Structure 1
Amino acid sequence: MQLLLIRHAESENNAKPVHNRVCDPSITARGRLQADCLGKWISGLAIDQLITSPFLRTLETTRSILQHAHTAPRRYPISVWHDVFENGGCYHGHHEKNFTGADGLGKTAIHTFFRDIAAQFPDHEPPPVKLDSEIEESGWWSGRDRESPEEMSERSRGVVERFERTFTQQPGDEMLGTRDGPVVVLVAHADFLREMLFHMLFGRVAMDSIGPIPNTSVTSLQWSTMGWKLTSLNSVTHLPPRLVTGHQAMLS
């Protein structure tokens, strides 16, 4: 399996002071340009599975990837995973004294989002979208408080194991992709991707050498029976210098 870890395009929270953050921001005008560049670059890849978090900023980044597909959206089967969200979950507030949980997008809202994308294609065929059963109608984070750092670390470990379990090619299996395994893309968040890399590369790479994760940057890893191998880190070659953001601080 080849796994591409991609941070979402610049969000309104990335571009504003922390006290102005909202629970589920859209991407900015600059973020839309970043996502457009990412979509053009990634359209040349043969992707077998595209996975995104249920946050709006990751869904909007994913939209640009679909819009630049050379064929119908079904070229990129999409899964929305409930467990690849950013550190803390979906919440209001900017300080531990005023944190309160927010619902996040619900099942129908996410399906409608992808149907609206399909309306832009000549055949109006929606992409094949599968949502985790944990994403409820009331919202994917409904009824929960802010997640703790310890819970986030444990969750990221579980997600790494989920990738290994879901996409590892066993002898005799007929899986998507080539004989080397499928090409899988995950669109997620800076802090969460960093935590995933910590578990994937534990003991082999010093995490303080990785640096900030820029918006729409691409990190590539290869999985084999020997474990995870890092093949590229935080690449932004698809972006002109004026569009590189998030490279000076770790922002979600």
Structure 2
Amino acid sequence: MISTKLFKINQIPKRTRYNMRALHTITKTAGLSGMIFFFTFGMFSCKAILKDTDLNDLEKVVSMNMGPCYGNCPVYTITVYDNGIVAYEGERFTERRGVHIRDIGRSDLKALKQELVAANLFKFPNAFKSQIPDLPTVTIEYFEDGRSKVIRGKDGRPPQVLKIQELLEQIANEGEWKQQQAPATGVPEDFIAHELIVQLDREVVPEQWSRQYAQQDLRVVKRLSPNNSYWLVRYNTDAMHPNDMLRQMRQDPDVIKVEFNKSVQGRQRDR
């Protein structure tokens, strides 16, 4: 059954409301089998509502951004809303890239709000200086009664702030998530984000050179011409953001030139 505290009835699509009333009638006349069908329908209706949720219409409670580090730290933002909906936007080094949402339920939401009030985040400074530069920067923003509080830092933050971070990390790593929006590549539409055209130094053996990018699952696809050292390579955009991959390649001393591969339509427009 859909709780009106989590979803306003006028936010439910009209067709869904009509079907729910019809199924309510079925359960009165069809007994147990009708009830089973009704609850099955309700489960799928909730999933549909989650998928169609407009996050811009919801009121934020707290959000946390986990920034990058010098290694493979997960980069993501998690936001908890006042109706129990949670949005997770994964950027890199995370199993979920793009925007995913789920409902944590009223009891977990209430418990989180109690911890936020107890933490009294407004008494802390907005930023904490770090002594360890390669740690990820964690930014927590708390919303209360029309005001907000941002706390940013790495190490050296107080236990109350670390506890809120731990709770939000727990929410991020649990539950069943539904993808609402595919990850943005950050490259023009005509470009193929997971393919690069690389000009290597003529002394470089491509297969050996590619081993240094094993973490990005890079593989050499083919040589583009027998008379030059241009190669088509592919890599895993889940392992590294396309713009970061391009930047790293440009710093490689064995690479003379590198660019994203283009779609056929993009190449035709360039002519």
Q: Where on the TM-score scale, by shorter chain, does this alignment land: which range?
A: under 0.3
**Which has the larger Rg?**
2
Structure 1 or 2: larger strand share? Answer: 2
